[in-house]
Structure 1
Amino acid sequence: MRKHVASRLFTKAPLACFMLLLFGAARLKAAPPGRRGDLGATGRFWHITDLHLDPTYHLASDPTKVCFSSKGAAATGAGPFGDFLCDSPYSLIQSAFLHMDRLVRPQDFIIWTGDSPPHVPVDELSTEIVIQVMSNITQTLLQHFPNVTVYPALGNHDYWPQDQMPTSTNDIYEAAANMWKPWLQTDALETLRQGGFYSQLVHSGLRVVSVNTILYYGPDKVTTNMSDPAGQFEWLEDTLKRAEQSTEKVFIIAHVPVGFMASFRNTTAIRKAHNERLVDIFRAYSHVIAGHFYGHIHRDSIMVLLDQKGKPVNSLFVAPAVTPIKGVSEVYANNPAVRLYLYDTDDFGILDIWQYYLNLTEANLRQRADWRLEYTMTDSFGVKDLRPASLLKLGLSMWLPPASTFDTYYTHYMAGTSPSSSASFLPSPFRLHAPPALKNTHLPAPQSLPQHPPPCSSQLVVSHFLSEQTAAAADANPEHSAPHPTQPKHKQNRTRERTRTEDTSQGHTCAAGREAKTWQPG
């Protein structure tokens, strides 16, 4: 996840409009670990992502020698379950699976959106080591959940050298297909071997489509000038068309998400042209797609896909990571997290999120991993479900003063943290998020808010629900502004600009406060 490439603001028309929602947690009581409840016609599935196992992690007298993933930085808060400057020790991953094991039901399934190896220099790994780490995680999942199907997606670290995902059969695609045979059927394994993607029916009416978005990832030099790497766009359209003909609904899973990155203005994680093509496909088959599920960012965020008329048509979810790692210069980190989704078994719309986390500092001090319920989405934000219309309405409410949900988010977002002490994480019962850089959007004035904002056909607009007031707060407190997850501050070339884009085709103006950036891949 640690390497990124920048992309300038999109100008090719037409493009979908997104609203990106970064959700913090309101304080709530944790559900008993064994709570079941009568959910009626409700299905469930788990989401794990970005485990990043560091096999070198160990407690050492020299804090610079605790883990290779700290890259020589002193892991002064190291304990039995990890450190915020290190990737996951095996004990942390085991604790996450043990927590899930107590709650999982036979009808549940798991989506696993990639990135098993650690964030270490390329010469510390090899194809063999990457395969071994992936195999270790796979075997651990099989041991904990022998009767639960897992649907994996490949991440940018699930290859060596990292990010350089090829467009044809290779040792890692072959190894993945072999180790995931207990979960995947023959036709799924065939396309996995060929291009790192697959489709499989979960049960009658519901299909998982695992997209290899690393083929579109900026640092992947192998696919730089390819319009359709590995023929995945053609395959995806054909798969969605067949699902439509079979009256199936589809869950899209992938590692790198579409749209802008959660923490930075106008920066996409995948290339501009590929992002536009994916958006076009997803919008065309939005009536077939019941939800999107991604990882890579390590942060908890949600997006809403609008069609060309501004109607909300898809909900997109980015899950927080299991690994707690942060860069030395980053102020904020995430505590380890896993989540449970609830969905309607009639139309497969997403109903709720139950987000679980581990207070890492507390776990290390107590020598015990007490995973807790951080929040449930519907209770924390007073929404009836997580369908696109509900999420868009919630996002728009953040723009209306007084935005109490925004204030709650921002309060907990900043609570109990400092740039120098991992012990500062202890007072907060909430998993923390890296502070986003923010930009305004094309939304009309609060006094004249429509049911949904007008579309911007001239650009892809991703808007954090955290508004310009948060950007102003960050500007006033520069110590609260974290650098890009993969880049030290000296590599950032930042310019601030205020822009108005005239959208003559739609007869309205899209206004955006933007922070343009260029990056050197880390």
Structure 2
Amino acid sequence: MSARQNDNIEFVLWTGDGLSHAARHLPEIRQLELLQNLTDLLGKTFSSQFVFPALGHDDPFLREELGKMWSRWLPTDSMKTFEAGGYYIIERKMLKLQIVVLNTNLMKHSDYEADAQKQWLWLDKVLHKFQRNGETVYLVGHMAPGSNERQRGPSTSSHTAYFDHHNKKYLEIVRKYAGIIAGQFFGHLHSDTFRVIYGDNGRPISWAMLAPSVTPRRSNEGMNNPGLRLYKFDKDTGQVFDYTQFYLDLSTVNPKENRQVEWQVEYNFSTYYSINEISPVSLHALADKFTQDNPQGNNVFYKYYKANSVRINNNPTTGCDSTCVHQHYCAITRLDYEAFRHCMQTAPSALSASSSLATRPVVLLVTAVAVAVSVIKLVR
């Protein structure tokens, strides 16, 4: 990415999990050494850009040590809140777009309840300030709200990222400030997918992108090839115009004796889905197409399903039955947990029949280092 786009890259979003699950059993000093290696690698690779890291659930919650490690990218004011709670804002002077990086780990662990409440108060305060000043914002974090679209079986707490009351609070905040939220960016699931959030009138008002991981994953939910994403956006307003997804095809790389690694363009969003903009309405319309046919006849879902695993799962007719298709749709469009469960119990045909915006119900990264990175490309 540095070789192809370095001059056009504005900043890099590092959405957490610099360590693997196994690394949690290592001494803290060793964990910090591993994260230091990644930090140095990103700093050397993107020497002219800022990298904005979010804490992943497998990263050590050593806020002071990590704050010092990432001080090359974080200004003094950001360091204060990061060391206090693992979250921060990047205020970009003279530009309309500001960046808010959340510590989503606080929403999943009962030990952090007091810190989570402080983060909500802080988030409401900074978003209110941005709203008052006529500014826009990106929300960035490791774990997205809602449910895992690839998790098979009955819905359980393992399918979700946040406690229910924190999930509801996140959706409440987004609804309140949807007018200034220009985009939401997450990692964690290792999959390529998106989310649509709806307002109290049932209309789509905000979107979130979940980018796949740089490292592969093998689990009960499936596997993925490594992926890396380049967004094209207006650096002043934050409007996202498009993105290009790059990937590494492990099936062609692993057998090679020389281990030559060649990343390829997997797809360009607007061309791939025949959509001329990234907006809540356009993403709602894209997800709605998943309910219109069965997997065998649904070319739109076929494309999405290939992208979801970064081209490891190429055939939904063998890897994804109608229940699987339905779960993807429900996870994308029903971020509230109760609404997701109700959606899963509702026949797809019924959802398709009531898919107009006016009648939409009120709802709303593993054997190695699990790093999800999004590169933001300046276009204006």
1:111/1:150 contact within 8 Å kept: yes
1:405 pairs with 2:297: no
**CA 1:452–1:382: 2 relative to 1, 3 Å:** farther
Q: Deviations over 1:381-406 (max 9, x none)?
A: 11111111111111112222453212
Residues 189-246 of structure 1, C-alpha deviation per residue, up to 9 Å, x if partnerless?
A: 11011110000124511111000010112xx3422xx365261000000010111122
Q: Name the CA distance, whole Å, in 1 between partners of 2:303 and 2:184.
A: 26
The 8 Å contact of residues 229 and 245 in structure 2, kept in 1 or not, is answered as yes
CA contact (8 A) 1:253 1:292 kept: yes
User: 1:108 — aligned with what?
Assistant: 10
The offset of 1:448, in angstroms, is 5.8
Q: Does 1:252 align with 2:142?
A: no
Offset of 1:258 from its aligned partner?
0.8
- Provide the C-alpha distance between the structure 2 equivalents of 1:398 and 1:318, rounded to a whole number of angstroms: 18
Q: Deviations over 1:264-320 (max 9, x none)?
A: 364321110111111111110111111110011111110011111012111101110
8 A Cα contact 1:331 1:434, kept in partner:
no
Alignment-derived partner of residue 20 in structure 2:
118
Indicate the residue corresponding to 2:370 in structure 1: none
Hey, what does 1:185 align to over in structure 2? 75
Is this contact kept in 1: 2:100–2:139, CA < 8 A?
yes
Which blocks of at least 5 consecutive residues in structure 1 are unaligned? 1-98, 160-164, 166-171, 418-424, 462-484, 487-522
User: CA separation of 1:400/1:193 partners in 2, compared to 1, >3 Å: closer, same or farther?
Assistant: same
- Aligned twin of 2:97: 206
Q: Which residue of 2 aligns with 1:127?
A: 28
Change (3 A) 1:138 1:186: same
Aligned equivalents of 1:300, 1:413: Cα separation in 2: 4
Q: What secondary structure, in the 3-state scheme, does the structure 2 residue paired with 1:308 have?
A: coil
Matching residue's letter, 1:391? L
Matched, 1:380 2:281: no
Alignment partner, residue 25 of structure 1: none
> What TM-score, normalized by structure 1, do the two folds share?
0.58
In the TM superposition, residue 344 of structure 1 has moved relative to its aligned partner by 3.5
How high is the sequence identity, in percent, across the aligned residues? 28
Bigger Rg over Cα: 1
> How much is the aligned-residue C-alpha RMSD, in angstroms?
2.9
Q: Does residue 341 in structure 1 map to residue 238 in structure 2?
A: no
- 3-state SS in 2 of match to 1:293: strand
**Paired residues for 1:61-80 under 5 Å:** none
2:165 pairs with 1:276:
no
Could you tell me how far apart the structure 1 residues matched to 2:43 and 2:3 are? 11
User: What's the TM-score, normalizing by structure 2?
Assistant: 0.79
SS of match in other structure, 1:310: coil
Q: Give the structure 2 partner of residue 143 of structure 1.
A: 44
Taking the aligned partners of 2:228 and 2:38, their CA distance within structure 1 comes to 15
Per-residue Cα deviation, 1:455-478 (whole angstroms, up to 9, x for no partner):
33xxx56xxxxxxxxxxxxxxxxx
* CA distance in 2: counterparts of 1:270 and 1:335, whole angstroms: 26
Separation in 2, partners of 1:437, 1:410: 9
Contact 1:215–1:229 at 8 Å: present in 2 too?
A: yes
Counterpart for residue 507 of structure 1:
none
- Unaligned runs of at least 5 residues, structure 2: 331-342, 368-380
Q: Secondary structure at the match of 2:77?
A: helix
Letter of the 1:173 counterpart: R
Aligned-partner residue type, residue 96 of structure 2: G
Distance 1:300 1:270 in 2: 20
CA distances 1:341-384 after superposition (whole Å, capped 9, x unpaired): 11244642222121000012312223210100001111111111
- The farther-off stretch of 200-209 and 443-452 is 443-452
Q: How many aligned positions are there?
A: 332
Match of 1:215? 106
1:365 to 252, 255, 267: 255
2:87 paired residue number: 197
Quote the Cα distance in structure 2 between the aligned partners of 1:416 and 1:151: 28
- Alignment partners' CA distance in 2, 1:449 and 1:175: 49
Q: Please state which structure has a larger fraction of its residues in helix.
A: 2
C-alpha contact 1:392 1:452 (8 A) present in aligned 2: no
8 Å CA contact 1:262–1:297 kept in 2: the answer is no
Q: How far is the alpha carbon of 1:104 from its aligned partner?
A: 2.4
